[in-house]
Amino acid sequence: MPHLSQVMPAATLPARRTRSALGDPAPLLAGAAPARRASSPGGGPARRTRATEPVSASPEATHRLYLDHQASTPMTAAALAILLEVSERDYANPSSTHRSGKRAAARIETAREQLADATGALPEEIVFTGGATEANNLAILGAALHATERGRDPKRRRIITLPIEHPSVLAPARHLAERGFRLDIAPVQGNGRIRLDALDDLLGEDVLLLSIQTANNEIGTIQPVAEAAALAREHGALVHTDAAQALGRTPLDVEAMDVDFASLSAHKCGGPKGVGALFVREGPNRAPILPITYGGGHERGLRPGTQNTPGIASFGIAATEAVERLRTDAPRLAALRDELEAEILSRIPDARINGAQDHRVPNATSITFPGVDADALIARLPDLDLSAASACHAGTPEPSHVLRAIGLTTEDAYSTLRLSLGPYAAAHTIPRIALRIADQAPPLRAP
Ligand code: PMP
């Protein structure tokens, strides 16, 4: 197992951000990059490619083509190395006060700073969780619990969200709707973007929380979070964004978005599964929230339980790398994705691209093949790993709620593939993927 320093050059380790309450920006290591803002990614120093290459067991290495990076991404070499290194060396309980415990705790604090750097947050605003599902539940249920138990305004009992949110947003929101809250679903346009005029009509002084995703996991559409948050603020509502699909795919800045809560997931950006974080605004505009599970006082008392030290440390490196890669990856992947779409459309002219083509993550596409059963198509393409709908829906007979909400018929929803490329997608594979899909789709067309 290589030591971290062998796969992660010192210069790529993050610097403390300027806003840090811990004092002047002090590089963790001599030669580290100056503090960066998330809104201008890629300003960091040159990086050895080794640090972001996939581990050798990646699907590409075994000659499969993995096209489902919205569902999960392979861990980067550096993220895997630190996961193993921390598991091996910093196994102590991070709450223990002895030296080993303090070393483990320091790993977590380094990752907290890395996540803060990657998102424009302060380190103390990062609460580590067991993934974005948990972060979404904590934000929505925790804000509602605070409102009912400590809130000064008993009228704020309404929640607004979008019909295309992930189930881990919709389910807790519906749970609250069965317990005295009112749930309003703000309509989206055919491209998946929220209708800001309709949101404005829905907002009022009784709204507690607007939950609006940053990027969608099926169609890749990026929402105008800052604009929606500005409208919500006019009515004194809190704002949560599910940014699980955004970190490392589009610049992410909690300050620029002006949100109170933001959910993150490690396994969508080169880190391990079962790790995530919730940004919870601190300072004079501290976001009101209570824990939804009880135990020790870990993570500001909001997420009790011994932290997953290796996973968190690994998430920190993965997030840093993902943001550093963004400047080069985003245009490269968008060009490959556009080529893939063009190749498919040139062979199947009635195929349709879903989502906002001018506002979407660079690596993903959702394509409807009218009259073609997507599951049957996937079955004919055993060399490609792709999905008909979100992984969270896979195996359920329901058509994708996202595709239905943007106006697709049930039949078209069942005829849709989502394809997403990873950071190491190779240009020469694109025509082959398009050809394989275009070869197999037409024979499946319903008569
Ligand atoms: N939100 C979105 C938009 C997602 O895509 C996912 C993962 N499918 C989640 C939340 C849940 O993340 P996790 O797997 O970390 O619980």
293 and 156 share a domain?
Answer: yes
* Contact of 25 with 127, CB cutoff 8 Å: no
* Dist. CA 181–CA 82, nearest whole Å: 43
Number of other residues whose CB lies within 10 A of the CB of residue 335: 13
Q: Which of 318, 337, 361 is the last residue of a domain?
A: 318
Q: What is the mean predicted confidence (pLDDT) over 182-202?
A: 98
Ligand 1 binding pocket includes 214 (Cβ within 6 Å): no
Structural domain includes residue 70: no
Q: Which of 318, 353, 383 is the last residue of a domain?
A: 318
Structural domain includes residue 385: yes
Q: Which contacts of 279-287 are long-range, i.e. CB under 8 A and separated by 24 or more positions?
A: 279/119, 279/121, 279/125, 279/126, 279/127, 279/254, 280/125, 280/127, 280/139, 281/125, 281/254, 282/122, 282/124, 282/125, 283/122, 285/260, 287/143, 287/238, 287/260, 287/261
* Contact of 415 with 370, CB cutoff 8 Å: yes
365 and 280 share a domain?
Answer: no
133 and 268 share a domain?
Answer: yes
Flag whether pLDDT at 5 surpasses 50: no
Catalytic pick from 185, 256, 392, 438? 392
Ligand 1 binding pocket includes 244 (Cβ within 6 Å): yes
* Strands 364-368, 352-354: pairing kind: antiparallel
Ligand 1 binding pocket includes 276 (Cβ within 6 Å): yes
- Residue 152 corresponds to which amino acid? R
Give the position, in ligand 1's atom list, of the atom nearest the Cα of 217.
5
CA dist list (Å): 153 to 143, 158, 173, 360, 418? 13, 12, 19, 37, 43
3-state SS string over the chain? CCCHHHHCCHHHCCCCCCCCCCCCCCCCCCCCCCCCCCCCCCCCCCCCHHHHCECCCCCHHHCCEECECCCCCCCEHHHHHHHHHHHHHCCCCCCCCCHHHHHHHHHHHHHHHHHHHHHCCCHHHEEEECCHHHHHHHHHHHHHHHHHHCCCCCCCCEEEECCCCCHHHHHHHHHHHCCCCEEEECCECCCCCECHHHHHHHCCCCEEEEECCCECCCCCEECCHHHHHHHHHHCCCEEEEECCCCCCCCCCCHHHHCCCEEEEEHHHCCCCCCCEEEEECCCCCCCCCCCCCCCCCCHHHCCCCCCCHHHHHHHHHHHHHHHHHHHHHHHHHHHHHHHHHHHHHHHCCCCEEECCCCCECCCEEEEECCCCCHHHHHHCCCCEECECCCCCCCCCCCCCHHHHHCCCCHHHHCCEEEEECCCCCCCCHHHHHHHHHHHHCHHHCCC
pTM: 0.87
Number of other residues whose CB lies within 10 A of the CB of residue 62: 9
Q: How far is the CA of 276 from the centre of ligand 1 (A)?
A: 9
Q: How far is the CA of 81 from the centre of ligand 1 (A)?
A: 24
Flag whether pLDDT at 253 surpasses 80: yes
Q: How far is the CA of 132 from the centre of ligand 1 (A)?
A: 5
Q: Which of 232, 236, 229 is nearest to 202 (CA)?
A: 232
Where residue 245 sits, what CATH number does that domain have? 3.40.640.10
Mutational test site, ligand 1, from 68, 217, 303, max ligand atoms within 8 Å of CB: 217
Number of other residues whose CB lies within 10 A of the CB of residue 197: 10
Structural domain includes residue 264: yes
Structural domain includes residue 348: yes
* Dist. CA 117–CA 257, nearest whole Å: 15
- Give the residue with greater pLDDT, 12 vs 317: 317
* Dist. CA 331–CA 423, nearest whole Å: 11
Q: Please name the residues in contact with 48: beta carbons below 8 A apart, sequence gap of 6 or more.
A: 9, 12
Can 392 be counted among the known catalytic residues?
A: yes
- Give the residue with greater pLDDT, 367 vs 50: 367
Q: How far is the CA of 212 from the centre of ligand 1 (A)?
A: 14
300 and 278 share a domain?
Answer: yes
pLDDT tens per residue across span 270-319: 999 999 999 999 999 999 999 999 999 999 999 999 999 999 999 999 99
Give the position, in ligand 1's atom list, of the atom nearest the Cα of 71.
8
216 and 348 share a domain?
Answer: no
Q: How many separate domains does the chain show?
A: 2
Q: Which of 263, 288, 318 is the last residue of a domain?
A: 318
* Contact of 9 with 47, CB cutoff 8 Å: yes
Ligand 1 binding pocket includes 20 (Cβ within 6 Å): no
The reported pLDDT for the residue numbered 45 is: 34
Q: How far is the CA of 3 from the centre of ligand 1 (A)?
A: 30
The reported pLDDT for the residue numbered 393 is: 54
358 and 335 share a domain?
Answer: yes
* Contact of 123 with 22, CB cutoff 8 Å: yes
- Give the residue with greater pLDDT, 424 vs 396: 424
Q: Which of 110, 81, 106 is nearest to 9 (CA)?
A: 81
290 and 400 share a domain?
Answer: no
Flag whether pLDDT at 53 surpasses 60: no
- As given in the structure block, the two tokens for residue 442 are 């037409």
Q: Which of 237, 210, 205 is nearest to 223 (CA)?
A: 210
The reported pLDDT for the residue numbered 22 is: 28
394 and 304 share a domain?
Answer: no
307 and 331 share a domain?
Answer: no
Mutational test site, ligand 1, from 75, 265, 278, 366, max ligand atoms within 8 Å of CB: 265
Mutational test site, ligand 1, from 250, 268, 308, 402, max ligand atoms within 8 Å of CB: 268
314 and 398 share a domain?
Answer: no
The reported pLDDT for the residue numbered 447 is: 64
* Contact of 166 with 244, CB cutoff 8 Å: yes
286 and 349 share a domain?
Answer: no
Flag whether pLDDT at 21 surpasses 50: no
Range of weakest confidence among 4-13, 290-299, 337-346:
4-13
Q: How far is the CA of 145 from the centre of ligand 1 (A)?
A: 23
The reported pLDDT for the residue numbered 398 is: 86
Structural domain includes residue 37: no
Measuring from atom 5 of ligand 1, which residue has the nearest CA? 217
Structural domain includes residue 77: no
Give the position, in ligand 1's atom list, of the atom nearest the Cα of 391.
8
Ligand 1 binding pocket includes 392 (Cβ within 6 Å): yes
Ligand 1 binding pocket includes 249 (Cβ within 6 Å): no
> 194 - beta bridge partners?
188
Structural domain includes residue 183: yes
Write out the residue range of the structural domain in which residue 212 sits.
Answer: 111-318
Where residue 396 sits, what CATH number does that domain have? 3.90.1150.10
368 and 440 share a domain?
Answer: yes
Q: How far is the CA of 244 from the centre of ligand 1 (A)?
A: 6
Mean of per-residue pLDDT scores for the chain: 87
CA 181 to chain centre: 27
Structural domain includes residue 65: no
Ramachandran class of 98: left when φ > 0, alpha when ψ lies in -120 to 50, beta otherwise: beta
